């Protein structure tokens, strides 16, 4: 491809702003919950644009949409990109929609340049990425990747008991294509960073090398409830004092494993939660994250050891449970390299980065060589109506996406 081919940044921005009118909120964000009428409108707009760009459209049984631009050899596995059009109830204009419309802009740019890739190009819209209306998140890309059964996915219900299967039919996106089960040459997802790192360092592109691992814990500390007045300090078994030392340990373990570790206690329940009773029981959660599985395991072991020591010294009993482990994901070296080379060739300031949030690309990486392209968002804020990104950064990310996709589509 001619090295001077660039995506049309204004057209990408205009498409984003037109999409953001569907479900627009007063504070400048969007509310477009999965499989609502607004989700249908956003899908209809995407499908219309893709048809106008000459793509053929396939919808699978989970409602995932695939817009396809043929390759020179149309029998080759497609090089795919995409993201999601659903949002949080108070979501922003760019989370998800950027990855979808950047894919459309890649197709439009290839059309303008009359450029034929060897392998076909596909732009995907994954159903219910956010997990806000139907839990868990990333259900439909998960079914595509074989992580969940189709029946499980279609049976997920919202708080009113309406299932994804029923709602897909209602909005006309219960397709008949098999979900997954086909070869994908490569998958790329462009996304706003949803964190502050790129902006703080003045980098325009994050070359995403993977997604960090997560371990979740539920911890119960039990002491003895007693009157806050007559009970002398040395005789107390104060569960909250013990739990407080454990919270401090969680934080310290995070700080000891910089620059990549995160460690958080986000929820605590004190019982009986009465001002003149020494707390008898405290329940709290811990969330540990790190991109390296061994380091994360070591953090986990350190936390358990610290909690046991604290409990023993204070005469408390400890119930320590790990309830969830999501292993770190390392993206495919050849796809990460394609993103890196694209950013370097375009002389765009970039750095390697690990995603702190989950994305459809996490599941896709199980069935296809995968990588992601991050662009900065203002103050690192996302899942918020004030979420913002600049047209220049979004265009730069789309240029990187174009080059990485073309490189992979021609490498076969
Ligand atoms: Zn997203």
**pLDDT tens sequence for the chain (412 residues):** 667 899 999 999 999 999 999 999 999 999 999 999 999 999 999 999 999 999 999 999 999 999 999 999 999 999 999 999 999 999 999 999 999 999 999 999 999 999 999 999 999 999 999 999 998 899 999 999 999 999 999 999 999 999 999 999 999 999 999 999 999 999 999 999 999 999 999 999 999 999 999 999 999 999 999 999 999 999 999 999 999 999 999 999 999 999 899 999 999 999 999 999 999 999 999 999 999 999 999 999 999 999 999 999 999 999 999 988 888 999 999 999 999 999 999 999 999 999 988 899 999 999 999 999 999 999 999 989 999 999 999 999 999 999 999 999 999 8
Label the pairing between strands 186-192 and 79-83: parallel
Q: Report the CATH number at residue 280.
A: 3.30.70.360
pLDDT of residue 356: 86
Q: How far is the CA of 382 from the centre of ligand 1 (A)?
A: 9
Q: How far is the CA of 97 from the centre of ligand 1 (A)?
A: 8
Number of domains in the chain: 2
**256 and 109, same domain (yes or no):** no
CA atoms lying within 13 Å on the CB side of residue 393: 24
**275 and 395, same domain (yes or no):** no
Q: Quote the domain boundaries for residue 262.
A: 215-326
| Count of residues making up the chain | 412
pTM of the model: 0.86
Q: How far is the CA of 206 from the centre of ligand 1 (A)?
A: 15
**197 and 309, same domain (yes or no):** no
Q: How far is the CA of 188 from the centre of ligand 1 (A)?
A: 13
Q: How far is the CA of 95 from the centre of ligand 1 (A)?
A: 4
Domain end, chosen from 326, 353, 368, is at 326
Domain end, chosen from 292, 326, 360, is at 326
Q: How far is the CA of 386 from the centre of ligand 1 (A)?
A: 15
Q: How far is the CA of 138 from the centre of ligand 1 (A)?
A: 9
Q: How far is the CA of 152 from the centre of ligand 1 (A)?
A: 22
Specify the DSSP class assigned to residue 240.
H
Q: Report the CATH number at residue 372.
A: 3.40.630.10
**13 and 160, same domain (yes or no):** yes
Q: Vertex 359, ends 354 and 361: CA angle to 5°?
A: 85
Q: How far is the CA of 309 from the centre of ligand 1 (A)?
A: 40
**234 and 206, same domain (yes or no):** no
Q: How far is the CA of 221 from the centre of ligand 1 (A)?
A: 36
**192 and 306, same domain (yes or no):** no
Q: How far is the CA of 359 from the centre of ligand 1 (A)?
A: 6
**305 and 332, same domain (yes or no):** no
Where b means 16+ CB within 10 Å and e means fewer, 256-290 reads ebeeebebebeeeebbeeeeeebbbbbbbbbbbbb
**182 and 198, same domain (yes or no):** yes
């Amino acid at each position: 491809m001619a090295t001077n081919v660039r995506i049309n940044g204004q057209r990408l921005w205009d498409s984003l702003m037109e999409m953001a009118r569907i479900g627009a909120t007063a504070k400048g964000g969007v509310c477009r919950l999965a499989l609502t009428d607004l989700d249908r409108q956003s899908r209809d707009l995407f499908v219309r644009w893709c048809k106008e760009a000459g793509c053929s459209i396939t919808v699978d049984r989970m409602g995932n949409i695939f817009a396809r631009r043929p390759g020179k050899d149309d029998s080759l596995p497609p090089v795919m990109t995409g993201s999601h059009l659903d949002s949080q109830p108070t979501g922003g204009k760019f989370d998800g929609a950027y990855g979808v419309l950047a894919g459309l802009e890649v197709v439009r740019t290839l059309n303008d340049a009359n450029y034929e890739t060897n392998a076909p190009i596909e732009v995907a819209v994954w159903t219910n990425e956010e997990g806000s209306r139907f839990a868990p998140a990333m259900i439909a890309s998960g079914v595509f990747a074989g992580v969940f059964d189709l029946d499980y996915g279609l049976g997920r219900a919202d708080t009113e008991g309406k299932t994804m299967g029923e709602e897909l039919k209602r909005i006309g996106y219960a397709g008949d294509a098999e979900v997954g089960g086909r070869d994908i040459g490569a998958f790329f997802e462009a996304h706003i960073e949803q964190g502050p790192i790129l902006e703080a360092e003045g980098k325009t592109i994050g070359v995403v090398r993977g997604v960090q691992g997560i371990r979740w814990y539920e911890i119960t500390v039990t002491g003895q409830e007693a009157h806050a007045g007559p009970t002398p300090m040395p005789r107390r078994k104060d569960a909250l004092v013990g739990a407080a030392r454990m919270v401090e340990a969680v934080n310290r373990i995070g700080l000891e494993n910089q620059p990549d570790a995160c460690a958080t206690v986000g929820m605590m329940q004190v019982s009986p939660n009465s001002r003149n009773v020494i707390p008898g029981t405290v329940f709290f959660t811990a969330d540990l994250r790190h991109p390296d599985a061994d380091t994360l395991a070591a953090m986990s072991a350190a936390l358990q050891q610290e909690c046991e020591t604290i409990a023993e010294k204070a005469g408390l009993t400890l119930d320590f449970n790990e309830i969830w482990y999501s292993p770190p994901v390392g993206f495919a070296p050849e796809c990460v390299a394609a993103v890196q080379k694209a950013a370097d060739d375009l002389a765009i300031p970039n750095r390697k980065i690990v995603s702190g949030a989950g994305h459809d690309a996490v599941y896709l990486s199980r069935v296809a060589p995968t990588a992601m392209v991050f662009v900065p968002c203002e103050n690192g804020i996302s899942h918020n109506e004030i979420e913002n990104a600049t047209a220049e950064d979004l265009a730069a990310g789309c240029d990187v996406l174009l080059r990485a996709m073309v490189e992979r589509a021609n490498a076969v």
